[in-house]
Structure 1
Amino acid sequence: MQIPIIDFQPFTEGDSATRQAVAQQIYQACHEIGFMYLKNPGISPQQIAALFAQSQSFFNLPLEVKQQLAWSDEVSNRGYVGVERERLDPDKPGDLKEAFNVGKEVSSHDTVPNMIVNKWLPNQEDFQTEVLAFWDTCSKVVEEVLQAFAIALQVPEDFFVIKHNQQNHTLRLLHYPPISQLLKPGQVRAGAHSDYGSITLLFQDQVEGLEVQTKDGEWILAPAIPGTVVVNTGDLMQRWTNHVFCSTKHRVKIPVDERIMRSRYSVAFFCHPNYDAEIACLPSCSLENPAIYPPISAGEHLLSRLQATY
């Protein structure tokens, strides 16, 4: 099975019939494999390149500097995550990667109860500006993808957008360092896992490693394709759709050639519903099969998944 490439520009610029046709392509991809490449997603190559350059500069900082921003708890889910700190596959050793998580930026003038703020280093204005601009761009892209999902699933076009209007999304910069140490049994760069939320946008460099598991249990490579972004559905979308859309396991394997001595960089944007959103089976997804899951709040689900991986 191949991961399909879908041109998203006709959806953002086309008429109703064109949008419906693209939504149907997305439906097929989400139903059959849970992964797709979106071509022309509305993010310029220049903006992607600029963010990757800033990410590389950040991860090149000394460890003691990055640790000043150390990730501290599941509720905030922000800051720096060191190598082997996270285990995406709880049965395997810690992942050979480091990460930096950013959520929605809130101003010190905002009066938000229990306000959660991002962690930034002083004198890193260019880094902060580039990261937040990319966060904003991805937020706009996922809104349009969520509209396509709604059309595909025969619910009002703004159904998912409203359920995500608090923008509880996470932008994650990822670095997989060169590997020179002895590996622990079963250790990889990112363990086999499914994503927790609604949808994920993934940007990756040319150092391959991402693999996606098909329904037959086979692992297939998902290389970087210029001009596209990888999009996959997460656990909550699978739950919402009663498995009409599937949340597929994926991993980042360790290269078996000279790339084991090269850094790998990627950027993930995790789209998550409002914390108080009730995730209950959509009526259009229970016509043939009864609901598999009881309703759950999105926030409760996210906290339980994060607690299991740290």
Structure 2
Amino acid sequence: MLKIPIIDLAIFRKSDIKSQQAIAKEIYDACHKIGFMYLRNSGISKDLIAQVFSHSKSLFNLSLAAKQKLAWKNELSNIGYVGIERERLDPNQPGDLKEAFNFNKAELLTLQPPANEPEIFVFYQACTELANKILQAFALALELPEYFFTIRHNQQNHTLRLLHYPPLQTPPKPGQVRAGEHSDYGSITLLFQDNVGGLEVQTTAGEWIAAPTIPDTVIVNTGDLMQRWTNDVFCSTKHRVMIPHDQQLERSRYSIAFFCHPNDDTEIACLETCQKERAPIYPPILAGEYLLSRLQATY
């Protein structure tokens, strides 16, 4: 069965081109074959990640009334609190058994509640730097100019999402899970998760495999816009969070997702270097329009 590879990003940071090309090839293979990878030496400190998880827990421990005052309002802003079952990632199933807080850069810069912890903004910036490094590796792997992708993400139109999957007090509805089967919408996603588990990834053969926490790594996956950009050379892989069938059922699960999106006015059209083996599959689309359409279908 196909495994999710573990890739050492420290080697890519070396100045010699041979080291960079070797890692870019590993990243290319991961994105092409499964769309997921674990990255070691991400450059984000363990202490900072722990601080954000701690702040996340304190936010979700607020009363429901307090959280509802910060409620997510619409797809255009896509910020605020999302209650349990509010989101339905798989449109054919009941709402997801999770709650979330979405943040964008503007909200973090003003440090308005609930984003009034400076560590969250520092973390957002650290995730942005890591995403840019991955995008540089993508450019090298796809025979593009080094900053082809990063300049198309320079408005930092990214979303930081804190997630909480509460313990189950009552049996779920038929077909209900913690996060329904879905692919992500943007370029790439960075995922930090605790050790409760439940994340599963679908291989190209249609098998579901576990993506457990591996200490000192970040999970990275490619999203829909990167799949469109690369003409299916990189795949946007379906994944889900299942309900455990052991004592983990009684525990909260926490994760942090950083959704990296291109600038809204970026045209996502098939790259010339990805047309060697097949004609363009998808018509061009603006990144902002695509994101809005997917959010409208989800809520």
- TM superposition score normalised by structure 1: 0.94
Equivalent in the alignment of 2:243:
254
Shift of 1:107: 8.9
Shift of 1:29: 0.2
In 1: Cα distance, 2:108 partner to 2:96 partner: 33
Which piece of structure 1 moves more, 178-187 or 92-101? Answer: 178-187
Shift of 1:301: 0.2
| Correspondence list, 1:95-174, <5 A | 95-105=96-106, 120-121=113-114, 125=116, 128-174=117-163
Asked if the contact 1:79/1:119 (under 8 Å) is kept, the reply is: no
Structure 1 gaps, min length 5: 109-116
Shift of 1:17: 1.2
Q: Secondary structure of the equivalent of 2:13?
A: helix
Q: Secondary structure of the equivalent of 1:24?
A: helix
Residue 231 of structure 2 is aligned to residue 242 of structure 1: yes
Shift of 1:106: 6.0
Deviations 1:39-83 (A, max 9, x none): 001011111111101101110111111111100000000010000
- TM superposition score normalised by structure 2: 0.97
Equivalent in the alignment of 1:8:
9
Q: Secondary structure of the equivalent of 1:9?
A: helix
In 2: Cα distance, 1:213 partner to 1:106 partner: 34
Residue 73 of structure 2 is aligned to residue 84 of structure 1: no
In 2: Cα distance, 1:42 partner to 1:107 partner: 21
In 1: Cα distance, 2:236 partner to 2:286 partner: 18
Shift of 1:119: 5.5
Structure 2 gaps, min length 5: none
In 2: Cα distance, 1:237 partner to 1:276 partner: 15
Equivalent in the alignment of 2:212:
223
In 1: Cα distance, 2:40 partner to 2:15 partner: 15
In 2: Cα distance, 1:106 partner to 1:59 partner: 18
Asked if the contact 1:78/1:119 (under 8 Å) is kept, the reply is: no
Shift of 1:105: 2.4
Asked if the contact 1:69/1:119 (under 8 Å) is kept, the reply is: no
Residue 271 of structure 2 is aligned to residue 282 of structure 1: yes
Residue identity (%): 64
**Which letter maps to 2:269?**
A
Shift of 1:14: 3.7
Which piece of structure 1 moves more, 61-70 or 6-15? Answer: 6-15
Asked if the contact 2:98/2:165 (under 8 Å) is kept, the reply is: yes
